[in-house]
């Protein structure tokens, strides 16, 4: 019986790994398609400056469309 439960656990782990890889692939594809400008004022976003990028608002709708909004358009700065 010990090997049966081990086999079941292994299959569960493999299924979890597969699901995680699939999710990662989806996220990577979405990030690759992400625009690099504000959807309201067309200000470009510097993807190399992580400090400023944390201020940008990212909105993803049901259809996986991504909209970026700069801090000025959101009224933060």
Q: Is 42 found in the same domain as 17?
A: no
Residues 6+ apart with CB under 8 A from 73: 38, 40, 41, 43
Structure tokens at 76: 């933060």
Structure tokens at 40: 């309201």
Q: Is 56 found in the same domain as 27?
A: no
Question: What is the extent of the structural domain holding 75?
Answer: 35-77
User: Do residues 35 and 56 touch, judged by C-beta distance below 8 A?
Assistant: no
Q: Is 47 found in the same domain as 75?
A: yes
* Number of domains within the chain: 2
pLDDT band at 2, cuts 50/70/90?
low
**Res 11: pLDDT:** 96
Q: Is 40 found in the same domain as 15?
A: no
pTM: predicted TM-score of the whole model, two decimal places: 0.53
Q: Is 66 found in the same domain as 42?
A: yes
Q: Is 45 found in the same domain as 17?
A: no
Q: Is 22 found in the same domain as 41?
A: no
Q: Is 51 found in the same domain as 63?
A: yes
Structure tokens at 75: 């009224």
- For 16-68, what is each residue's pLDDT tens digit? 999 999 988 988 887 778 888 888 898 888 777 777 778 888 888 877 788 88
2/6: higher pLDDT: 6
Q: Does residue 1 carry a pLDDT above 90? A: no
């Amino acid at each position: 019986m010990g090997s049966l439960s081990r086999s079941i656990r292994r299959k569960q782990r493999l299924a979890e790994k597969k699901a995680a890889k699939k999710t990662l692939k989806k996220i990577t594809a979405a990030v690759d398609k992400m625009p690099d400008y504000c959807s309201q004022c067309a200000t470009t976003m510097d993807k190399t400056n992580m400090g400023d990028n944390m201020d940008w608002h990212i909105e993803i709708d049901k259809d996986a469309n991504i909209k970026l909004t700069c801090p000025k358009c959101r009224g933060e700065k």
